[in-house]
Amino acid sequence: MNDVNGSTGMNLDKNPRALAAAPGTVPVRRIAYHPAQWRRLAFRDAVTDFLSGSDDPRAYLERCLETIAECEPVVQAFVVTNIEGARRAADESAKRYREGRPLSAVDGMPVGIKDLYETVDMPTQANSPVYAGWQSGRDAAHVYALRRGGALILGKTTTTEFGMADPPPTRNPFDSERTAGGSSSGTAAAVGAGMLPVASGSQARGSIVRPAGYCANYALKPTYGAINKGGGLGMSPSHGVLGFHAATLRDMWETAFYVAQTIGGDPNCPGLYGEAALPQAARPDAVVRLDTLGWDVTEPAAKAAFDSYMHDLGRQVRVITRRDNALIEELEQALRGIPAVMFPMLSYDMRWPAWPYRDAGRERLSPTLLSYLEKFENIGPDDYRRALDQRARLRALFSQVQNISPVCVALCQPGIAPVGMGIGDPVYGDVSSVLGTPAIVLPVMAIEEMPLAVQVMGQAHMDYPLCAAARWMADWALRRAAG
């Protein structure tokens, strides 16, 4: 990890495409995960102490830095940091708290930024030599909002190549022989390891949902366009969204809402609806269980854990499945067509800028990314239009499900994080990406002392009431886990 203002004492030079730290080259780290016992790095809980003077943002930051010094040599969540810049911002924040005038809900919060998004004080490299050392001279939209609110932009978190292809060397914070997932690899690992309370992520397929599940984070994959993703280097404008990983639901929601209120949503989108404070828990009358295409590839232990979870949930609320309702069965069958919708759209999106990058020198792109381009070389406007039509039909069908229940529940991942550097199967994240609907990750289960998460999905622009249902489900599930 490099620091733009000097050495951190950690000799971990992560240049773009220094991708594959081989298994066995870092110390083994294993920490047992239990959802009811895992101690999380909350931020908003500390604000009361900031205001009383018993704690302050600089001290909070220094505790984060101590954890980074301990964990980062193994977890490898960061590309570059600006520790001295964060310290200066923390001192300014501490002064505001002493004077009783914090700028916002994120004032003094240490935050990581996925390295697909521009930062004025650090390079943005997208895990590619195409952007090695590149600095735009500006902040991405959400970074600008965070900085304006007094957040401490501590560092850039690792990502797969352009958020699409080869992985970084990031390890799972609970087992260093396993992946942290991707493409929001460093974001998931940094929050999961307790290095940061919040970090930004993005998703075109499963890049928020899956790594959050692997690393035991709460996470919001919002309605498409709800949070401005301007200033990013992603290749998936048709499905790509900006979201947040956090140690708590409160930090997740209140950070996301602050950013959306400050900088808005994507152009031509109404932005994130709701209120600034995390909503009160609201038990839904019923939930819809969705198996999706992911069930076909889900490991037996994960199936058993989810079946048990849903069985117990059924004692609290009515659980409606494909066996109970013809519309849900129709939706389940339709969702199996997601690959035919997603891949033509993603590949069509990738043509620019990936074709110019390839033309400038194939050696600057990984074999994985080159193979994607070759496989879908002949995708054209007619293919994209057909995919749009199919997607519209899927979304219309899903919108009917709100008449049964506004809350759907599915797994986040087919099993615990795989051993090795592969980022895992994004199949469960594909659903909300294609539907353009919100999903909230709840890290409420474990297998073999590794995280297993569920996601709560809802209708477009219903992120806030979905968060209320998710809060109730998280509270219930953690009581269940505690026995």
Is 265's pLDDT higher than 60? yes
Residue 272's closest CA among 461, 465, 466, 469? Answer: 461
- Considering the candidates 183, 200, 347, 405, report the single residue annotated as catalytic: 183
Looking at the fold, whether 155 and 239 belong to one and the same domain comes out as: yes
| In the predicted structure, residue 7 carries a pLDDT above the cut 50 | no
H or E element, residue 466: helix 463-482
Active site residue 207: yes
Q: Assess whether 114 carries a catalytic annotation.
A: yes
What is the residue-wise DSSP string for 80-107?
Answer: EE-HHHHHHHHHHHHHHHHTT---STTT
In this structure, are 170 and 311 located in the same domain? no
| pLDDT mean across residues, the chain | 94
**Structure confidence by residue, pLDDT tens digits, 281-332:** 999 999 999 999 999 999 999 999 999 999 999 999 999 999 999 999 999 9
Would you place residue 20 in the very low, low, confident or very high pLDDT band (cuts 50, 70, 90)? very low
Q: Is residue 304 part of a domain?
A: yes
Does 9 score more than 80 pLDDT?
A: no
Categorize the per-residue pLDDT at 26 as very low, low, confident or very high, splitting at 50, 70 and 90: confident
What tens digit of pLDDT does each residue of 359-383 get? 999 999 999 999 999 988 999 999 9
Looking at residue 1, its pLDDT comes to 73
Q: Is 31 domain-assigned?
A: yes
* Nearest residue to 168 via CA among 192, 191, 184, 190: 184
- Residue 13 near residue 60 (C-beta atoms within 8 A): no
Indicate if the pLDDT at residue 22 is higher than 80.
no
AA identity, residue 447:
I
Tally the domains of the chain. 2
93 in active site:
no
Residue 394, amino acid: L
Q: What is the pLDDT of residue 15?
A: 37
- Confidence (pLDDT) at 8: 36
**Statement to judge: residues 108 and 197 lie in one domain:** yes
Q: Is 374 contained in some domain?
A: no
Catalytic choice (14, 93, 104, 114): 114
Q: Token match 């994960």: residue? A: 302
Asked if residue 125 belongs to a domain, the reply is: yes
DSSP SS3 for 430: helix
Q: Does residue 54 share a domain with residue 196?
A: yes
Residue 361 falls inside a structural domain: no
Choosing from 231, 263, 295, the residue where a domain stops is: 263
Let me know whether 214 and 259 are in one domain.
yes
Same domain, 235 and 334: no
User: Using CA atoms, how far apart are residues 36 and 19, in angstroms rounded to an integer?
Assistant: 34
Looking at the fold, whether 311 and 255 belong to one and the same domain comes out as no
* pLDDT at position 37: 94
Element containing residue 288 per DSSP (H, E): strand 286-289
pLDDT in tens, 412-430: 999 999 999 999 999 999 9
- The sign of the dihedral angle between the CA atoms of 22, 24, 25, 28 is positive
- The C-alpha atoms of residue 220 and residue 315 are separated, in whole angstroms, by 27
Question: Amino acid identity of 376?
Answer: F
Question: Do 399 and 254 sit in the same domain of this protein?
Answer: no
Evaluate if residue 6 carries a pLDDT over 70: no
Residues 210 and 313 in one domain: no
| CATH number of domain containing 292 | 3.90.1300.10
Q: Which domain holds residue 183?
A: 2-263
**Same domain for 21 and 82?**
yes
Q: Which listed residue (176, 207, 366, 433) is catalytic? A: 207
Q: Which residue type, as a one-letter code, is found at position 182?
A: G
Let me know if residue 327 belongs to a domain: yes
Verify that 22 and 83 share a domain, yes or no: yes
Please give the span between the terminal C-alpha atoms of the chain, in angstroms, as a whole number.
41
Calpha distance 381→378 (Å, rounded):
10
* 206 in Cβ contact with 433 (< 8 Å): yes
Of 346, 482, 414, give the one whose Cα is nearest residue 181. Answer: 414
pLDDT tens digits, one per residue of 98-156: 999 999 999 999 999 999 999 999 999 999 999 999 999 999 999 999 999 999 999 99
Strands 408-411, 286-289: pairing kind: parallel
Which long-range contacts link 91-99 to residues 24+ away (Cβ below 8 Å)?
Answer: 91/58, 92/150, 93/56, 93/57, 93/58, 93/150, 93/152, 94/50, 94/56, 94/57, 94/58, 96/150, 97/50, 97/51, 97/53, 97/56, 97/57, 98/53, 98/56
β-strand partners of 220: 244, 440
Predicted local distance difference test score (pLDDT) of residue 27 = 80
**pLDDT given at position 482:** 95
What is the chain's length? 483
Let me know whether 57 and 200 are in one domain: yes
In a domain, 56, yes or no: yes
- Asked if residue 274 is part of any domain, the answer here is no
Average pLDDT over residues 165-176: 97
DSSP tag of 76 = -
Of 248, 263, 278, the residue that ends a domain is: 263
